Structure 1
């Protein structure tokens, strides 16, 4: 009877019929599963990767069976998601584009004299008759101390206030701006998005609510008017607010009093006080703060005594006192029954935005 370990058809030719010598090498199921072999792709074989028959897999714990390409793709997705979250959280107020174009809106109000314009009593002390509350130049601007707002630090608010103060000095107090036609110092404060509008206002001032030069600065025609004193008296205040969480807003309301005389007039000539009220609204984003520039978005100018039928777009046109102070006043164009009540440009409790009025206390 044959050996039960032999196959029914007998031992193969050339074999010993007994494989006991191989029984020491056992390839059980756990051994086979433990083998981590992955064949090369056809592209890798064609590329000449003959030095190795297989490529190892990345072993990262539970991710040990994931190919490296998949891990790289997963890493890229995670990095992109993290970057989107970071920039979305850290820069919630970043604007898509900086404002440009005709951002400034201007309103000009001439205040006609109600009676003959009289010269000051003492040309050497032209401001003697002013009521209390006016200061000399920048002192009268009443610039407040900076304080943190909801989204802007004390340092940022202080920097905005300083920029506004220097702008007001350059545009309302500097003799070069007032009677010499200079504009460069004022333009240096204007944000790049408004510079084209500013330049158009300089080249061709127009009372179209956007291109009046006197919306940006105070100017007198040097061919007609000269300063009788370099000092300018000022009274007013500034208010700080936020237009939104990325825009700081500063509103100013000031009355400027200028001592003027006719251009080329000799010493001792009659001196006239011209009153100009400027109600302005400025906006700053953090780019403006970093560059010490400002965006002027609203400007109202009242000036008197000035003729109602004249244009204030290019320059303030004061009605000057004559030597005998007997010249008749320039009346408003409207009929007497429709003449508005007198307007005091030093009264900041009333809005500056209105039509031509009559100057109170001429």
Structure 2
């Protein structure tokens, strides 16, 4: 016979068929009496005035309502985002946008000879008449030892000076630059923001204060002149400054003396010494220092003996000495009322010429 505790139709599927599993839950008489039972009237149920088991919400006008916790989280996100933007913009260490465009300003000054241009007394030793203080090549650059500035370490300053020295060698002393028209090595030192300006100066040099190739480098027309000596004499110095807390500035001021002769002339031909002064201002940020590149922002070049009537934007144009000397070209008269001629084009007189 079946268990009298089972229903006539048998125990439900999956059930145990007894109340053992519910015996631990006991509702005694005191619990039942304490339970509060509220029956809502028909009017209360229809009006919906009974309390809702929902979290409180905040009304946002036409935007509807949102839970208070969500609103608090949203406000926290907005405050954090605003703080991140503020500190990102005002941080002194934030990397500013890097300069681009025509940053280099060039001033070219032709130095006209005051008298006939005479050849060097000894073609084999054309620099014999130079005053003391000149040295051969890079030695004459007088590169100082690196010293820390207010915002740049000794290592950073030393790296900037080394980059400047290598630039000056490539742009003022390398025969491939001086006579063979090479520009790639000099360009490799120029920051990407100035390379378009440099390229424009190579392809279409013009004395507009920004696109004279001779503002970037020294070069002569190989169809007109050739080097008469392997060495170049140099005298000058460098100065270390800061343009601002994030920009290191190196200013160089050097005089280069080149021994030249007519293109294709045999050995023993008259030799002319051409004097070129370059005063350059370089700037570096920390990206430039890391890539060993520089930003040339100002270039002043004086060269002579040179005629005042010929552009020096593409090549320097020396007046070469003949066997018995070459008469100086007459400088042109300047009319201040003639606005077709740029006011910045300057011609001076070469001392001792």
TM normalised by structure 1 equals 0.74
Other-structure match for 1:8:
none
Per-residue CA deviation, residues 220-256 of structure 1 (Å, 9 max, x unaligned), is 0000110011211111111111111111111111100
Contact 1:259–1:272 (Cα < 8 Å) also in 2 = yes
> Structure 1 stretches of 5 or more lacking a match?
1-18, 28-36, 42-65, 336-352
Contact 1:241–1:248 (Cα < 8 Å) also in 2 = yes
Other-structure match for 1:10:
none
Other-structure match for 1:215:
215
Q: 1:257 Cα shift?
A: 0.3
Larger mean Cα displacement after TM superposition, 262-271 or 85-94: 85-94
For 1:239-254, what aligned pairs fall within 5 Å after superposition?
239-254=239-254
Q: 1:334 Cα shift?
A: 3.5
Contact 2:147–2:154 (Cα < 8 Å) also in 1 = yes
What SS does the corresponding residue of 2:110 show, helix, strand or coil? strand
Q: 1:121 Cα shift?
A: 1.4
Closer, same or farther in 2 for the Cα pair 1:146/1:126, shift >3 Å? same
What SS does the corresponding residue of 2:346 show, helix, strand or coil? coil
Other-structure match for 2:95:
94
Distance 1:208 1:354 in 2: 9
What SS does the corresponding residue of 1:196 show, helix, strand or coil? helix
Other-structure match for 1:80:
81
1:357 equivalent to 2:343? Answer no
Distance 1:38 1:257 in 2: 95
Q: 1:191 Cα shift?
A: 1.0
Contact 1:251–1:281 (Cα < 8 Å) also in 2 = yes
For 1:90-169, what aligned pairs fall within 5 Å after superposition?
91-95=92-96, 97-169=97-169
Contact 1:275–1:303 (Cα < 8 Å) also in 2 = yes
Distance 1:151 1:89 in 2: 18
For 1:210-359, what aligned pairs fall within 5 Å after superposition?
210-325=210-325, 327-334=326-333, 355-359=346-350
Contact 2:88–2:94 (Cα < 8 Å) also in 1 = no
Larger mean Cα displacement after TM superposition, 75-84 or 215-224: 75-84
Q: 1:93 Cα shift?
A: 4.9
Closer, same or farther in 2 for the Cα pair 1:275/1:38, shift >3 Å? farther
TM normalised by structure 2 equals 0.76
> Structure 2 stretches of 5 or more lacking a match?
1-27, 37-51, 57-67, 335-343
Per-residue CA deviation, residues 178-197 of structure 1 (Å, 9 max, x unaligned), is 00000001111111111111
